[in-house]
Amino acid sequence: MKHLKIVALASGSGSNLQSIIDAIEKKQLNAEISLVVSSKRKAGVIARAEKYNIPVIVVERRIYKDNIRGFSAKIAQVISDFSPDLILLCGFLSFLSEEFCQLYENRIFNIHPSLLPAFGGQGAYGIRVHRMALKAGVKVSGCTVMFVDAGQDTGPIIVQKCVPVLEDDTEESLAQRVMTAEYQAYPEAVRLFGQGRLSISNNTVKISQRKDED
């Protein structure tokens, strides 16, 4: 597996980033987190990154209001010095501009707490996604790791993991079960990327056979 330089974008606690850090520490991933960009000044991800001496830059989303292009351009500017191989959205509560998605085409991953295309798009993030799943009465839910394109949760799907939805589930209990699946799915997808095993054709990801040295 090639050594990956990763930049993570986050807005919250960053527990998904932790799953990547843990996989790196256990040598399951040959990678480093070069930089964390937080879109909120008080996000829990900042202390988490500092604990591992990972540099953090705050680019506040609220300052840019509806100017997604300006916000994305600022992020592109701060991360360019780090030359990332891969950008991971880890609970990042903003969409990114078309220009940004083109600049890092096929090198941005996101993780979403549902089985896309169900319960995605504008307004579908965090606990709201589980509210939508419970309201729809689905019997299974799960998580999706996908490439990020200029659409809203529309990029090619890399890994999905299912969990059951139980009759007495609350938003929180379902979120917790899905989160456990997320911590498996994100490192798995990053590893496939590092192994050079992902290709995209017709918006579908193909995963090639594993080579022995990986």
Active site amino acids: 112
Q: How far is the CB of 70 from ligand GAR (least distance, A)?
A: 21
Residue nearest to ligand GAR (CB): 91
> Cβ of residue 16: shortest distance to ligand GAR, in angstroms?
3
C-alpha pair distances (Å), 146 with each of 34, 150, 195: 21, 12, 17
> What 3-state DSSP class applies to 66?
coil
Longest dimension (CA), the chain: 49
Contact 149, 155 (CB under 8 A): yes
Task: Provide CB contacts within 8 A for 135, sequence distance 6+.
Answer: none
Name the site residues for ligand GAR (rule: CB under 6 A): 10, 12-16, 90-91, 111-113, 125-126, 129, 179, 182
Amino acid identity of residue 169, one-letter, is D
CB of 113 vs ligand GAR, minimal distance in Å: 4
Nearer to ligand GAR, 183 or 193 (CB): 183
- Report the C-alpha gap between 143 and 163 in whole angstroms: 8
What does the DSSP assignment read for 87-111? EEEES--S---HHHHHHTTT-EEEE
Nearer to ligand GAR, 13 or 28 (CB): 13
Q: Which is nearer to ligand GAR, 182 or 188 (CB)?
A: 182
**Side chain identity at residue 76, one-letter code:** A
C-alpha 192/C-alpha 20 separation (Å) is 13
Q: Which is nearer to ligand GAR, 30 or 94 (CB)?
A: 94
In eight-state DSSP terms, residue 137 is T
| 145: nearest Cα among 37, 11, 3, 20 | 20
CB of 196 to ligand GAR, least distance (A): 25
Q: In whole angstroms, how close is the CB of 213 to ligand GAR at the nearest point?
A: 31
Q: Which is nearer to ligand GAR, 1 or 156 (CB)?
A: 156
